[in-house]
Amino acid sequence: MRIVPFLISTLITLGLIFVLDNPIGEKVPMALGSFLSPQHGFWQNAEPVNHDFNDTLAIPQLKGKVEIYLDDRLVPHIFAENDEDLYAAQGYIHAKFRYFQMDLQTRAAAGRVSEIAGPAAVEFDRSQRRLGMVYAAERALEEMEKDPLTKRVYDAYTRGVNAYVTSLKPEEWPVEYKLLNIAPEPWSNLRTALLLKMMAKMLTGGTERDLGYTNARAIFTPEEFSRLYQIVPDSLRPIVPKGTPFAPPAVKPVIPASADTLYFNSRKTVAFQETDRPNPNNGSNNWVVAGSKTKSGAPILSNDPHLELSLPSIWYELQLTDPTGSTYGVSLPGSPYVIIGFNDHIAWGITNAQRDVKDYYEIRFKDHKKDAYWYKGEWTPTQLRIEEIKVKGAAPVVDTVAYTVFGPVMYESSFPNGTTQHENLAVRWTAHDPSNEGLTFYKLNRAKNYREYVEAISHFTCPGQNFVFASKTGDIAIWQQGRFPARWPKQGLFVMPGTDDSYRWQGFIPQNENPHILNPSRGFLQSANQRPVDDTYPYFIPGFYITPRGISIEQKLEKMSQIGVEDMQKLLSDYDNVTGRALQPLFLKFTEQASLSEDAKRFRELLKNWDGQSGPDSRGQTVYQVWMDSLKTTVWNDELARITPQAPAPDEQVLTELLLKDTASVFYDDVTTPKREGIRDVLAIALEKAVPTLLEAEKNGRLEWAKYKNPSIFHLLKNSVPSFARRGLPVGGYGNIINAVTVSHGPSWRMIVHLTEETEAYGVYPAGQSGNPGSPYYDNFIDSWVRGEMYKLLVMKPGDVTHERIKWKITLSPAE
């Protein structure tokens, strides 16, 4: 025995184990020892490519037997004896294939990212808490659990999820837990509510520009303002076709007496810029054609929601069957039900309404304690909510949020940091109101006709959506559904005074006055995030509308007849750039005589030869888009930068229409130069400014559109795991084009449903059914999606168990 060498050697061994048992990096803080261990670490997540998914399991509190058949694309077809078991099984299967996603998304929604990512995420967490995300989820949960049916369904779903989560041994945890060195947390009904609020924030958290507009008001006259923002474009093709009459409004909001001085003509500005804005391209297309326009005589419905493209996808495809019928479509992991899909009788799709449902009120606190504010002539107590944010590797951060009659005070001197001014801005947001959106989907999944569809969607409050509809009985319809405030003109465009109730919302637009239409004579309907109605609609409805895709879809559908599924499929991946085609002659005409640099001339030539299509190989599209982006800054920035934070840029459609209709506009002038610039000058200046970008792209061989924009689909952990992403996808399109693929944003699910007697449906999304980066089903749909191909969806019937596409079976039975 050699004591000293033994001790040294043992210490080295233990030291080695200690080092390998502790995190190695900041971004991916895995412990290398357990991470590399083939019995404990990531190797356990490397699923054999011929993995056998057959299984038999016992689930607590199940009432009967549930059979889950997995097809060749790993789509589960769930057959249950009652609705409760159905949603327990959906919970189980969501968790089995997507638990990390569910866990991470709802932790983020609750403002708990710092627990994983450390101090860098504290500001994000604070913004989530200050926006009242958890408060909103708690209020929704309270409302949901008041309804016995909803409570039963959510309880069952949560049980199903947790049956899976608690069955896992640490080596079976999804690989991301091993990378991040964290453990999964059990599911709860509150987390489902948090997921719905995450969607509400994603889709309505950036459709208002109140802070930016308030600053814009200080630099533009009211006339200028109304020419730049919230215009109803002449080129608009609204969701409810032009000329459809509207009944007089049932609610008539009254402009406050003080509005002229305190509101319309005020020059008061705000020091805040909204933090963490959702992607402005969050949008979607949906359309439906009636039997009168199709080859078969049956309606065809199509939908492609444009969202952040991620691995795994926000969507999970499945078929749900209980004795009341069968529903097929995509679901949100974290929530029961099919969200977009079809059943034996109807089909539906959704796009975002883009309406502004979030306003800000300026609050006067009594003192720094923030426990009282001036309201209706007296000091009124606030409710203080203490938010404790746990931070990895640092002390917890405590934030106090004051709740007023309007809502939580989101912005104040302590947030964001570094602000010197002292406005306190409370946020009024419809997502804070109690609601039960889930009920819409329970009912929609089972709806048999137009009447039941209308009843089902009436429960849907926030985020406002355009529900397109078609039934096997031949009806087509669309409703813009949500709970929208009835505003007086310009109410809520700017920060409003919060010292009394005169600026509060006076009511909501009645449900039956929401924009809608059933069976229009023209035989088709479409929505693509445009303003839902023309200016004859009797309410003031600001929003973040996107006009071009609606024009494009309508122009094409108008011309089409004898439509088949293949025409719809072509339209879904259409690359036509309507805005670009409209502006191309103008760009060329007004730069004809300009004295341009040699390079500029060369790029101008490329635009001249452009066919107006945004395909992956198009170089003209790259020139157009870079030139257009440069033009936007050239035209607007001199005006907008007169204030800090800068006023928001007007919508693309505003500039498009300005260029087409007013070649002598004052806005072309650069206010910082003595010279008076005109349209010829701005176009030439914009082109010259675009040249370095284009030259750089050309030098790197990336002038082709797909190479230039480099479409990529990232894992949820983004740049922490670059090798989990799929980058450089050869796909064209853009946010203003029907095939709305930007960089990592675009058609997150494409679906076509042909409502013939035997439903014929197609779908694809750019990811795969499994969230496991070690599974062949992680990204196996991406290549088909890139090529614009779609899968024929297998709608399985109860007796169909021997279908050739059915590969595996999971049986769930009640636990003893």
Partner 1 sequence: MNESNGRSPYPLLNNRRTRIDLMKTLIAIIFTAILSLVLGRFLPWWSIAIAAFAISLFFQQSGISAFLAGFLGIFGAWGFYAFWIDRANESILSQRVAGLLPLDGNAILLILLTGVIGGIVGGMAALSANLLVRPKGKGRDYENYYRRKFEIR
Q: Among the candidate windows 76-84, 207-215, 239-247, 769-777, which touches partner 1 by CB under 8 A?
A: 769-777
448 class by beta-carbon count within 10 Å (0-12 exposed, 13-18 middle, 19+ buried): middle
33 forms part of the interface with partner 1 (CB under 8 A): yes
Residues of this chain, 688-727, that bind partner 1 according to CB under 8 A: 721-724
Min dist. Cβ of residue 167 to partner 1 (A): 17
Q: Among the candidate windows 9-17, 106-114, 382-390, 798-806, which touches partner 1 by CB under 8 A?
A: 9-17
> What tokens were used for 815?
């636990």
Min dist. Cβ of residue 781 to partner 1 (A): 15
Give the residue from 230, 227, 215, 244 showing the smallest Cα distance to 518.
Answer: 244
Residues of this chain, 775-804, that bind partner 1 according to CB under 8 A: 775-776, 778
- DSSP state for residue 307 in the 8-state scheme: E
Q: Among the candidate windows 30-38, 140-148, 391-399, 475-483, which touches partner 1 by CB under 8 A?
A: 30-38
Whether residue 294 contacts residue 300, with contact meaning beta carbons closer than 8 Å, is answered with yes
48 forms part of the interface with partner 1 (CB under 8 A): yes
774 forms part of the interface with partner 1 (CB under 8 A): yes
Nearer of residues 35 and 263 to partner 1, judged by Cβ: 35
Nearer of residues 9 and 258 to partner 1, judged by Cβ: 9
Distance CA 179, CA 716 (A): 13
Contact residue for partner 1 among 29, 45, 320, 361 (CB under 8 A): 45
Min dist. Cβ of residue 121 to partner 1 (A): 20
**Under DSSP, is residue 779 helix (H, G, I), strand (E, B) or coil?**
coil
Nearer of residues 46 and 394 to partner 1, judged by Cβ: 46
- Helical pair 133-146 and 122-130, crossing angle rounded to 10 deg: 50
Written in H, E and C, the secondary structure of 20-67 is HCCECCCCCCCEHHHHHCCCCCHHHHCCCCCCCCCEEEEECCCCCCEE
Residues 6+ apart with CB under 8 A from 563: 289, 293, 294, 295, 300
Contact residue for partner 1 among 23, 40, 413, 611 (CB under 8 A): 40
Contact residue for partner 1 among 212, 763, 773, 788 (CB under 8 A): 773
Distance CA 360, CA 356 (A): 11
Nearer of residues 9 and 221 to partner 1, judged by Cβ: 9
Min dist. Cβ of residue 729 to partner 1 (A): 17
Min dist. Cβ of residue 712 to partner 1 (A): 14
In a 13 Å sphere around the CA of 326, the CA atoms on its Cβ side amount to 15
Nearer of residues 5 and 243 to partner 1, judged by Cβ: 5
Contact residue for partner 1 among 20, 517, 588, 596 (CB under 8 A): 20
Whether residue 156 contacts residue 91, with contact meaning beta carbons closer than 8 Å, is answered with yes
User: x/- binding map, residues 727-766, to partner 1, per CB under 8 A?
Assistant: ----------------------------------------
Nearer of residues 16 and 394 to partner 1, judged by Cβ: 16
43 forms part of the interface with partner 1 (CB under 8 A): yes
- Name residue 813's beta-bridge partners: 58
Instruction: State the distance between the two ends of the chain, measured CA to CA, in whole angstroms.
Output: 56
DSSP per position, 257-288 = TTHIIIIIT-----S---SSPPPTT-EEEEEE
DSSP per position, 192-248 = HHHHHHHHHHHHHSSS--HHHHHHHHHHS-HHHHHHHSS---TT---SS-TT---PP
Q: DSSP E strands: which ranges in 340-382? A: 340-343, 346-352, 358-363, 372-375, 378-381
377 forms part of the interface with partner 1 (CB under 8 A): no
Min dist. Cβ of residue 180 to partner 1 (A): 12
Q: Among the candidate windows 38-46, 272-280, 510-518, 589-597, which touches partner 1 by CB under 8 A?
A: 38-46
Contact residue for partner 1 among 39, 417, 420, 802 (CB under 8 A): 39
Q: Among the candidate windows 1-9, 440-448, 676-684, 701-709, which touches partner 1 by CB under 8 A?
A: 1-9
Q: Among the candidate windows 26-34, 354-362, 477-485, 703-711, which touches partner 1 by CB under 8 A?
A: 26-34
Nearer of residues 16 and 801 to partner 1, judged by Cβ: 16
Give the residue from 540, 437, 435 showing the smallest Cα distance to 487.
Answer: 540
Min dist. Cβ of residue 56 to partner 1 (A): 23
Q: What angle do CA 781, 784, 785 make, to 5 degrees?
A: 80
Nearer of residues 2 and 368 to partner 1, judged by Cβ: 2
Q: 714-715 and 76-79: which strand pairing?
A: unpaired
Contact residue for partner 1 among 23, 47, 364, 807 (CB under 8 A): 47
Distance CA 467, CA 346 (A): 12
Q: Among the candidate windows 13-21, 314-322, 428-436, 756-764, which touches partner 1 by CB under 8 A?
A: 13-21
Min dist. Cβ of residue 19 to partner 1 (A): 10
Min dist. Cβ of residue 21 to partner 1 (A): 7
179 forms part of the interface with partner 1 (CB under 8 A): yes
Q: 358-363 and 496-497: which strand pairing?
A: parallel
Nearer of residues 164 and 777 to partner 1, judged by Cβ: 777
Whether residue 257 contacts residue 321, with contact meaning beta carbons closer than 8 Å, is answered with no
Nearer of residues 100 and 762 to partner 1, judged by Cβ: 100
| Phi and psi torsions of 765, nearest 5° | -140, 155
Contact residue for partner 1 among 22, 26, 36, 558 (CB under 8 A): 36
Q: Among the candidate windows 29-37, 349-357, 415-423, 685-693, which touches partner 1 by CB under 8 A?
A: 29-37
Nearer of residues 380 and 710 to partner 1, judged by Cβ: 710
28 forms part of the interface with partner 1 (CB under 8 A): yes
Nearer of residues 6 and 710 to partner 1, judged by Cβ: 6
**Under DSSP, is residue 552 helix (H, G, I), strand (E, B) or coil?**
helix
Total residues at the site for partner 1 (CB under 8 A)? Answer: 42
Min dist. Cβ of residue 682 to partner 1 (A): 45
1 forms part of the interface with partner 1 (CB under 8 A): yes
271 forms part of the interface with partner 1 (CB under 8 A): no
Nearer of residues 5 and 674 to partner 1, judged by Cβ: 5
Give the residue from 157, 203, 170 showing the smallest Cα distance to 44.
Answer: 170
Nearer of residues 12 and 120 to partner 1, judged by Cβ: 12
User: x/- binding map, residues 50-69, to partner 1, per CB under 8 A?
Assistant: x-------------------
Maximal CA-CA distance, the chain: 99
Residues 6+ apart with CB under 8 A from 714: 310, 311, 724, 725, 744
Whether residue 345 contacts residue 812, with contact meaning beta carbons closer than 8 Å, is answered with no
41 forms part of the interface with partner 1 (CB under 8 A): yes
Give the residue from 42, 73, 38 showing the smallest Cα distance to 776.
Answer: 73
Nearer of residues 175 and 738 to partner 1, judged by Cβ: 175
Alpha helix stretches (DSSP H) within 412-473: 437-444, 450-457
Radius of gyration of the chain (CA): 28
Nearer of residues 170 and 798 to partner 1, judged by Cβ: 170
List of residues contacting partner 1 (CB under 8 A): 1-2, 5-6, 9-10, 12-13, 16-17, 20-21, 28, 32-34, 36-50, 175, 179, 721-724, 773-776, 778
